[in-house]
Amino acid sequence: MKPEKRLQWLSYLPNIITVSRIIALAPLLWCMWHKQYQTALIITFFAGISDGLDGYLAKRFGWQGWWGGILDPLADKTMMMGCYAVMVWQEVMPLWLFVMVVVRDMTIVLGTTYYHFKIDKLKQAKPTFWSKCNTLLQILLLLFLLLKLAEWWSPPFPMSWFFYLVGFTTLSSGFQYVLIGRKMAKQEHRLC
């Protein structure tokens, strides 16, 4: 057997790492539910490292594929939504912010699906800079809350300020996607 064939399984490594992140969601949410925030923070830390590692491997070695493009954002969003849901249930995070994040993400998914199947096939979906800022702030919010709950660090500002900041970027990036989608649809209709 050729050495290239024997090492071909390595190309699945980014997806294996991503799946392990999805599996880690169960113990993470269990720890959060039982208020074992220090352990939850450690799991979150390793999930963050694995997210960076799978992305690096996929890009560095050209191991990017369709499955990875689906699994990676799915793992990230599932983890974020699960953690946010537990925090809302424990009254650590306001319900309005959780609803806003869910509605934004569902709007993007439904709009993208509609465009793909009814207007034109999407070749590639790239997040906007503002959306990346929103994602970063959502991750920082989760991290700040876990650090505070684990009693490892307290932010030097009221968390309510950060809730409003995340709410603003969530709402505005959602509107940005809606406007981009409408513009793409109008351009496609003009071409027809």
Structural domains in the chain (count): 2
CB distance 109 to 177 below 8 Å? no
Let me know if residue 180 belongs to a domain. Answer: yes
50 in the same domain as 18: yes
Give pTM, 2 decimals. Answer: 0.86
69 in the same domain as 119: no
Residue with tokens 């509609």: 114
**Running DSSP on this structure, what letter comes out for residue 117?**
I
Q: What is the pLDDT of residues 78-117, one digit of tens each?
A: 999 999 999 999 999 999 999 999 999 999 989 888 887 8
Domain with 26, as residue range(s), is 1-76
Give the containing element (helix H, strand E) for 99.
helix 95-114
What do you get for the CA distance between the two ends of the chain, in Å?
Answer: 52
- Banded pLDDT at 73 (limits 50, 70, 90): confident
103 in the same domain as 60: no
pLDDT for the residue numbered 3: 56
Domain final position from 28, 45, 76: 76
Compute the C-alpha angle 83/18/67, nearest 5°. Answer: 120
d(CA 76, CA 34): 22
CB distance 131 to 179 below 8 Å? no
Tokens representing 103 are: 């509605």
Let me know if residue 82 belongs to a domain. Answer: no
39 in the same domain as 129: no
